[in-house]
C-alpha cells in the first residue's frame, strides 16, 4: 500500500509576526523558555516543508514604547527601548530554533554587529533562498512605528506571499470577543473593512501597506498546536484579510 503524498504548501515564502507577549506564557513579563521552544517546534514543522520563513517578533513582554511614554519616558526614547526589547526576543527565538536544527540569522534595523547582522534587503532574501530562517529585530528602526508595521514592511521588502499574524484569538472579530459576547468571527474580511470598522488586528499603517501591495494577512490563534503549518498548507484557519 503506497503512502498518500504529503500536502504541498500553499506559499513559497512567508513572514510570521509574533507578539512579544506570546513568548512569556503565563509569566507577567519576560520570556518563558518552554513556550519559546514550543513555538520553535511549530516553526520547524513549517521549515521542513521547504517554505522560506521570515519572522518579526514584538517586544511587549519586555517593554512597550507607547506604554513607557505614558509613564513619563519621552516617546522616541521609549520606542527605541522597545526596539532593543525585540532584539532580545529575536535572539531567544534564534537560540530555540537552532536547538531544533533550523539554520537561522538575525538581522536588525539598528546596527549591533556583535550580536546580529544589519538589515540588508538583498542579503535577507539570499538567506531565505539558502533555506535559513531570518528573524528581523529592532522593528523598522524608527520610532512611532509599531512592530506590526515593521512586519508589513519586511514582508513586502522580501516579497513574502502572505503575512501570518499569530495572536491570542482565533481570528478577526466584529468586536473584542473578550469584552463583547455578541462578537462574531469573520472568516474573511477586506483591508477596507478592517480600517473602516477599526477592527484592531493591526495598526492602520500596517493594514494600508498590505493593501497597497496586495499582501494577504492570515490572523489565527498561535496557542493551537500546528496552526502555523495549517495556514501554510492553505487550510482555512482563523481569518483572512485580503
Every domain of the chain and the residues it spans? 13-241
* Cα gap 138→57, rounded to integer Å: 9
Buried b (16+ CB within 10 A) or exposed e, 179-209: eeeeeeebeebebeebeeeebebbeebbbbb
Give the containing element (helix H, strand E) for 128. helix 121-129
Give the containing element (helix H, strand E) for 205. helix 204-212
* Cα gap 37→158, rounded to integer Å: 26
Q: What is the DSSP secondary structure assignment for residue 216, as one 8-state letter?
A: -
3-state DSSP helix/strand/coil percent for the chain, to nearest 5?
40, 20, 45
pLDDT in tens, the chain (242 residues): 444 446 799 999 999 999 999 998 888 889 999 999 999 999 999 999 999 999 999 999 988 656 666 678 898 999 999 999 999 999 999 999 999 999 999 999 999 999 999 999 999 999 999 999 999 999 999 999 999 999 999 999 999 999 999 988 888 988 877 788 788 889 999 999 999 998 888 999 999 999 999 999 999 999 999 999 999 999 989 999 99
pTM above 0.85, yes or no: yes
Positive or negative, the CA dihedral 131, 108, 62, 152 is negative
Positive or negative, the CA dihedral 137, 138, 139, 140 is negative
Q: 68: Cβ–Cβ under 8 A, 6 or more apart, which residues? A: 77, 78, 81, 82
- Residues constituting the chain: 242
First to last CA, the chain: 41
Three-state DSSP state, 218: strand
Do the Cβ atoms of 238 and 218 come closer than 8 Å? yes
C-alpha cell at 75: 516617546
* Cα gap 128→146, rounded to integer Å: 24
* Cα gap 178→231, rounded to integer Å: 24
What CATH number was assigned to the domain covering residues 13-241?
Answer: 3.40.1160.10
Amino acid at each position: 500500500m503506497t503512502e498518500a503524498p504529503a500536502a504541498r504548501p500553499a506559499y513559497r515564502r512567508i513572514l510570521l509576526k509574533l507578539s512579544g507577549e506570546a513568548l512569556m506564557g503565563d509569566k507577567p513579563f519576560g520570556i518563558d523558555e518552554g513556550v519559546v521552544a514550543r513555538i520553535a517546534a511549530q516553526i520547524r514543522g513549517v521549515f521542513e516543508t521547504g517554505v522560506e520563513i521570515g519572522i518579526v517578533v514584538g517586544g511587549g513582554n519586555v517593554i512597550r514604547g507607547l506604554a513607557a511614554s505614558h509613564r513619563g519616558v519621552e516617546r522616541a526614547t521609549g520606542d527605541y527601548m522597545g526596539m532593543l526589547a525585540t532584539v532580545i526576543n529575536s535572539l531567544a527565538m534564534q537560540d530555540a530554533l537552532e536547538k531544533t536544527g533550523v539554520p537561522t540569522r538575525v538581522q536588525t534595523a539598528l546596527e549591533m554587529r556583535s550580536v546580529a547582522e544589519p538589515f540588508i534587503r538583498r542579503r535577507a532574501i539570499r538567506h531565505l533562498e539558502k533555506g535559513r530562517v531570518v528573524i528581523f529585530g529592532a522593528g523598522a528602526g524608527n520610532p512611532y512605528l509599531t512592530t506590526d508595521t515593521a512586519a508589513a514592511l519586511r514582508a513586502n521588502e522580501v516579497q513574502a506571499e502572505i503575512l501570518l499574524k499569530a495572536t491570542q484569538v482565533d481570528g478577526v472579530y466584529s468586536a473584542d470577543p473578550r469584552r463583547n459576547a455578541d462578537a462574531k468571527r469573520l472568516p474573511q474580511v477586506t483591508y477596507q473593512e478592517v480600517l473602516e470598522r477599526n477592527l484592531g488586528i493591526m495598526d492602520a499603517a500596517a493594514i494600508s501597506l498590505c493593501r497597497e501591495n496586495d499582501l494577504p494577512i492570515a490572523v489565527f490563534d498561535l496557542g493551537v498546536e500546528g496552526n502555523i503549518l495549517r495556514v501554510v498548507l492553505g487550510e482555512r484557519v482563523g481569518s483572512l484579510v485580503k
